[in-house]
Amino acid sequence: MGPFARVSSHYGHYPKVSMTDFESLNLAAPVQKALEKLGYTTPTPIQQQAIPGVLAGRDLMGIAQTGTGKTAAFSLPLLSHIANNEMEPPKRGARALILAPTRELASQIETSVRDYGNSMPYLRTTVVFGGVNIARQIKKLVRGNDVLVATPGRLIDLIDRKDVRLGDVEILVLDEADQMMDMGFIHALRKIIPHLPEQRQTLFFSATMTPKIKKLAGQFLTNPVSVSVAPPNTTADKVDQSLIFVDKKEKQDLLALTLLDPDIERALVFTRTKHGADRVVKKLARVGIESLAIHGNKSQNNRQRALQKFRDGEIRFLIATDVAARGIDIEGISHVINYEVPNVPEQYVHRIGRTARAGREGKAIAFVDKEERAYLKDIQKLLKQTIPVLPLPENFNAKAAEVNKRPALPRPDQPEGYKPRQDPRRKKQKRQKKPKTAEQELAAANEQDAKPQRPPHAKSPHGQRPKHKKKYSGKPRNNRDGQDRDGQKPGGQKSGSHPGQKGGHSQSHTSGKPKRSGGFKRKPKPGGKSSGGRTHGRPQNRGNRR
């Protein structure tokens, strides 16, 4: 049995309730007080359906798009359970564990939990994820926590180091389960689950419902309640979707023209690759459009800084990959632009879910080239609808040419008007001398006459420096016997050798024995040929010696 009293019921949808405010959901008093401070009075549809089932102790299978309030759907009943059953959290452990696929999403969930529990002074929460110092995270784990939010990868590291214990977890939450599967975290989940107690409550949330998700839910859930605020694999109702067919090489010009539209308050631009996101930022900077990129290669501090600037309105455009953008929960995103169409259809649903959040309207535009038409076909098949096609802007080429004439943004470390130094590797172009006027030539001649003349050289009767000796030309000089330095006579014959002799040895003038011509002989390499005729370094066969 889990922490709540389980209700025996058949697998199916939990009955919808007509609750218009949070007071009717029977949440704990501290949680209700925190909601009043935050100004939240009316629950969203996913919260209306999910909270009663979770409070009743049931496992939950929730299908909801981003921006529907699903974080509060599992956080509020979770905190109510902690408030109604107050106790000291286990050392190096947690009473509730929330798993999220990305650092940004994990950080935002932990922030939301603290906000919803701001009337619970005893509440202890912490978040652990990769890319930062693990020692600080271990210190927070030692004290014990009521709620632990983690990414699967970092949690596995802590389990292997025996710095975290999951034997006392009462509630497990899997958020964005479909994204975890896409990122390959299924093996990490299967490694984490055995460390959890069998008697626990599990809440499972996903934006899409596929056969793989159903199979995964069947492994983790027991007699769950199923809630859904929208048909599976559908997009938000208030997202105005459209697409533009464009050549791949013209996407950058189209993006610049689109972002210069004053109607775009704040836009999120998606690329498929990390390097593609960086390239878009650089190309936009060349036409004077400021943007920042977030992806897996960026450090956690850089990603948080970029998100904060985007949230505060310091920059209007953020370039992101699918993985990095899963944790983005920012109000006021008016447009989502698919600069590159995703090759996984479900990713399209997640992308455009970043706009039209909390009942607001938003627009999603996709740039589709010839190579991406197959991806578009899969997306429309998943959505079971055809996305409207928009034409290219009128006079596209002329407008693109005007945009490319815009001045580039100065680099952060350079002042405005900075001109970079010429690359020293390039050949310096000769400057054309301006013709001098008559007055300038006369002034130059007078200046030359005014200079003191150099006195003649003392050792030269003609006032010239003596010539230096001729330098060595590089040719071998002959010795006394007419031989050069290599022992070769001017005629090409070696010294001391007869004309018919192939040479190499010369007769000594004293002993009559042959003498090496000079130099030294290199020692044979191990295993190679030697002068004695051996090959491969093998000894000769000398017979059996006894």
Strand, helix or coil for residue 47? helix
239-404 to CATH, choices 3.40.190.10, 3.40.50.300, 3.40.50.920, 3.40.50.150: 3.40.50.300
Q: Is-contact 338 366, C-beta < 8 A?
A: yes
Q: What angle do CA 523, 524, 527 make, to 5 degrees?
A: 150
What are the backbone dihedrals phi and psi of residue 460, each rounded to the nearest 5 degrees, phi first?
-110, 125
Tokens of 315: 């920059």
What is the rounded distance in angstroms from the CA atom of residue 379 to the CA atom of residue 458? 94
What is the rounded distance in angstroms from the CA atom of residue 166 to the CA atom of residue 96? 9
What is the rounded distance in angstroms from the CA atom of residue 265 to the CA atom of residue 154? 36
pLDDT in the model for residue 11: 36
* Beta strand spans in 277-334 (E): 292-294, 317-320
**Helix 251-259 with 274-286: angle, nearest 10 deg:** 60
Q: What angle do CA 186, 47, 236 make, to 5 degrees?
A: 75
Q: Is-contact 209 354, C-beta < 8 A?
A: no
What are the backbone dihedrals phi and psi of residue 34, each rounded to the nearest 5 degrees, phi first?
-65, -40
For the domain 12-228, what is the CATH superfamily, name and number?
P-loop containing nucleotide triphosphate hydrolases (3.40.50.300)
Q: Is-contact 106 97, C-beta < 8 A?
A: no
Taking only the tens of pLDDT, the chain with its 546 residues reads 333 333 333 334 444 444 457 888 999 999 999 999 988 888 988 999 999 999 999 999 998 877 778 899 999 999 999 999 999 999 999 999 999 998 888 998 999 999 999 999 999 999 999 988 899 999 999 999 999 999 999 999 999 999 999 999 999 999 988 888 888 888 899 999 999 999 999 999 988 888 888 888 888 899 999 998 765 555 556 789 999 999 999 999 999 999 999 999 999 999 999 999 999 999 999 999 999 999 888 887 888 899 889 989 999 999 999 876 665 778 889 999 999 999 988 889 888 888 877 667 889 999 999 999 999 999 999 888 999 999 999 999 999 999 999 999 887 655 555 555 555 555 555 555 666 677 777 787 777 777 666 665 555 555 555 555 555 555 555 555 445 445 555 555 544 445 444 444 444 444 455 555 555 556 555 655 544 445 455 555 555 544
pLDDT in the model for residue 202: 96
DSSP structure string for 414-459: S-TT--PPPPTTSPPPPPPPPPPPHHHHHHHHHHHHHSPPPPPPTT
Q: Identical fold at 12-228 and 239-404? A: yes
pLDDT in the model for residue 421: 56
pLDDT in the model for residue 13: 43
| CB within 8 Å of 421: residues ≥ 6 apart | none
**Helix 152-160 with 134-142: angle, nearest 10 deg:** 70
As to burial, measured by CB atoms within 10 angstroms (0-12 exposed, 13-18 middle, 19+ buried), residue 380 is middle
Domain ranges (residues) in the chain:
12-228, 239-404
Q: Are strands 505-507 and 514-516 parallel, antiparallel or unpaired?
A: antiparallel
pLDDT in the model for residue 410: 82
pLDDT in the model for residue 186: 87
What is the rounded distance in angstroms from the CA atom of residue 121 to the CA atom of residue 123? 6
DSSP structure string for 70-120: HHHHHHHHHHHHHHHT--PPPTT-EEEEEE-SSHHHHHHHHHHHHHHTTT-
Tokens of 356: 């039209």
pTM of the complete model: 0.60
pLDDT in the model for residue 467: 57
Tokens of 366: 């996709």
